[in-house]
Structure 1
């Protein structure tokens, strides 16, 4: 099983004067909602997580959904033997999460993992479903905490672009 989660940072709070209703893409993706994220393989009791406190969690959810779709561009889908690659770059560091799809399975590893540690491996369909659920659950949490965010057109577009499956 796959679990994707987050925690918001107390060290990097959002500016109190923020108008979430009109926040632009840059603010939503890079300046607001900082914290940490994780992907966990609950069956194997293994986790890949950040511990920096400054990761923009909405951007992570957004980028993860984009990556899952990018890994599905081969028309052969689960029958595609050629590996498909995508990287998730963290803006304030040189660290990356690396995604490799072979057939219907996605290996997830990160620059900060030990060299001898095997990647986390998830079914592509499960990763798509969980990434989209994570995005929608995160948006629900953030809109409960921040007045006006639910009225932001970019948030509407994001939810429409990646509906729950």
Structure 2
């Protein structure tokens, strides 16, 4: 089973003068809500996680939803034998989280994982559903903490682009 989570950093707080209602895409994706993220296989008790404190968690959720869709571009879908690749590039470092889809399964690994450690593997459908749930749960948490964020049109568009799945 897949669990995606985050923690916000106390070392990198958002600027106090931030108007979340009018924050633009760049600010929302790169300058605000810094912390750490993880993807965990709860059945195998393994995870891929960051421990830097500066990862923009909303950007991670947004990028993860984009990647899951990018991995589904082959018209054959889960029958496609040709591997499909995508990655999240962490802009403040050279580290990447790597995704490889073959058939209906996605392997997730990261540059910072030990070389002998096997990737985490999830069904593409589960990854899609959990990534979208993570995005919506994160936005709900952030709008509870930051006045005006719920009124930001960029956030509305983001939630509409990646609705929750049944």
TM range (shorter): over 0.9
Q: Name the counterpart of 1:125.
A: 125
CA distance in 1, matches of 2:11, 2:112: 22
Q: Which runs of 5+ in 2 are unaligned?
A: none
Question: Residues 44-99 of structure 1, C-alpha deviation per residue, up to 9 Å, x if partnerless?
Answer: 00011000000000000000000000000000000000000001000100000000
Normalised by the length of structure 2, the TM-score is 0.99
CA distance in 1, matches of 2:55, 2:91: 8
Q: Name the counterpart of 2:5.
A: 5
Normalised by the length of structure 1, the TM-score is 1.00
SS of aligned partner of 2:97? strand
Deviation at residue 12 of structure 1 after TM alignment: 0.1
SS of aligned partner of 2:21? helix
Q: Which runs of 5+ in 1 are unaligned?
A: none
SS of aligned partner of 2:134? helix
Q: Name the counterpart of 2:93.
A: 93
Query: Aligned runs of 1:2-151 on 2, under 5 Å?
Result: 2-151=2-151
Count of aligned positions: 165
SS of aligned partner of 1:93? coil
Moved beyond 4 Å, runs of 4+: none
SS of aligned partner of 1:53? coil
